[in-house]
Amino acid sequence: MTKLRSEAQPHAPGQTVIIVGLGIAGLTAAIECHRKGLRVIGLEKKPDINLLGDIIGLSGNSVRILAAWKDSNSLDELVTEDITCDVSALELLDTEGTRRFAMPYNPQNPIQGHLFRRTGLVNMLYQHARQLGIDLRFGVAVDGYWEGKNEAGVYASGEKISGHCVVAADGSHSKARVIITGENPPPDDTGVIAYRTIFDAHEIADVPEAQWLLKQSPGRDVFQMYYGKDTMVAMGTAARGRYIHWGCALRGMLTETTEAWMQPASPDVVLKSLQDWPAGEKLSAIVASTPPGRCFNQSLINRPPLSRWVSTGGRMVVIGDAAHSFLPYAGQGGNQGIEDAAVLAICLERSGEDVPLALRAMEKIRHQRVSLIQQGSAEAGDSFLNAAWESSATDRPTAYLHQAWVYTHDCVKHAHEEYDKAAYSVKNGREYIPTNIPADGRFRQEDKLGDMV
C-alpha cells in the first residue's frame, strides 16, 4: 500500500479537536485526527454506543480509509464475520419471486464493498478508538457552541469545553447545523416511508413458512431485493445466518410524516402492501415474524445541499449527515461521512496551526462532490420505486444505478494532491475547480450494472 507523507509542520502540544456526535462520521473523524497527532475529545449524548439500524454498505471509497488503520488494503484485520454479510450474490427479483438477475458479489470490488450490520460497524469503530486511547465521553448533552479568534468549544452538561476547533457530526437532525452554518433548509417530504429491522434468526425457528430464507444458502448469507411499483423490499441474512434483516420502501402510503431517524412501528403496513404480490406470502412470513418493538420506520426526507459547512470564524464545521443527509438510493451516507473525516484530518495536518484555513480548504475539496452525490441520491429515488423491468430480454430493473467515480474515489490521495490548490483559493478568494466529480458536473444516471460483474 502506498504511504502518503505530509510535509506539514508539527502541531503545537495540546492542539485539540472537539467532535460532537459519535456515529460513523464522528468516530472516524476521531480516529483520523488522532492518527494525525491531534488531541481529540469526543462527545455523545446517548449513554452508550448502541445504534438502531439494519444493514449498511461501505464501498471502496471508504473501505480504503478504514483498511489503512491496519496498514492494509482490506478490512480483514478489522472486521469479524459476526458484523458482516457473507453473500455470494446480490439477487434482484420481481413481485412473483422470479430471480431476474444474480449479481456476483465480491467485497473486494470497490463498487460493491462490504455489507455490515450497522450496529456492528459502529461498535467496531468505537472499539478501535478505545484501543487508541481516544477520549470519548457518553451521556454528554451539548447545550451550546462558542467560537473565538484562537479557540472554539461547547457548553455541555454545565461545563465549558475548549479546543482549537469543533467538528459537529451530530446527524441529520443536527442542532449544530444552523449555529455553525446559519442554514437549516426545510426538508422536502419524498412521500416514501422506509421500514427496517434486524433480529436474531431464532425468532423464526418455529415458523415453517419462514425457513425458506435460511435454506437459500446454507453457511453463507443471502441478500435479495424485490422490486414492484412504488415498493422495494430488501431481505436477507447476516453473520452467516445468525441474523435476519429486511427493509421496505413504500411510496404513497397514507401515514403520519415524521423526521425522526427511526421510530417504533408496526409492520402491518408492509404486510398489507405485499398481500397482492405473488411472492407476498413467503415474504410476509419473514415480516410477520419480526419481534414486537423491533420494527422501525422513518419518512425519507430530502434536504437540499447547504451552501457552506464552516462557521464564520472558521473554527467550527459540520460533517457527515449534519452537513449532507442522504436518501438511501445511492448507498453513500456512511461512505461520504467517512470521506469527510479523512479529508478533514488531512487538511488539519497540512495547515499546521491555521485551523480556519484547514476547515475552509476541506470544504473546498469536499463540498461540490458531496452536494452532487446528495442530489443524485434524490434523483435515483424514482428509478428505484418505478422499478420497471424493462422488457423480457432484460434481466435487471431500471433501478440499479452505479457510478464508478463515486465508489472508486481515493479521497486521501486526492486531498493530498489538492490541498495546496484549495488553500490557495481560500487565501486569495479565487474559485476552486473540483477534480473529484465528472467534468460535466452531472451525477450520471446511466445503468452501470454490467461493469460490476
* Continuous segment of H or E residues that includes residue 256: none
Report DSSP state, residue 378.
H
Q: Is 387 exposed, middle or buried (0-12, 13-18, 19+ CB in 10 A)?
A: buried
Q: Is 324 exposed, middle or buried (0-12, 13-18, 19+ CB in 10 A)?
A: buried
CB atoms under 10 Å from CB of 148, counted, come to 10
Cell of 110: 470497490
Question: Of 22, 20, 83, 18, whose CA–CA distance to 49 is shortest?
Answer: 22
**432 counts as catalytic:** no
CA Rg, the chain, in Å?
22
CA neighbours within 13 Å on the CB side: how many for 192?
25
Q: Is 155 helix (H, G, I), strand (E, B) or coil?
A: strand
- Alpha-carbon distance values, 89 to 222, 225, 236, 413 (Å): 8, 11, 11, 31
Say which amino acid occupies 65: I
**137 counts as catalytic:** no
Distance separating alpha carbons of residues 324 and 334, to the nearest angstrom: 11
Q: To which residue does cell 481515493 refer?
A: 410
Question: Which is the catalytic residue, given 226, 227, 329, 407?
Answer: 226
What secondary structure does DSSP assign to 100-130, as a single string? Answer: EEEEE--TTSTTT-EEEEHHHHHHHHHHHHH
Q: For 398-436, give the secondary structure using H, E and C.
A: CCCCCCHHHHCCCHHHHHHHHHHHHHHHHHHCCCCCCCC
Question: Of 235, 290, 234, whose CA–CA distance to 267 is shortest?
Answer: 290
* Continuous segment of H or E residues that includes residue 365: helix 355-386
Question: Which is the catalytic residue, given 196, 240, 251, 366?
Answer: 196
Indicate the length of the chain as a whole number. Answer: 453
Distance separating alpha carbons of residues 230 and 431, to the nearest angstrom: 42
Would you please indicate which residues are annotated as catalytic (active-site) residues?
196, 226
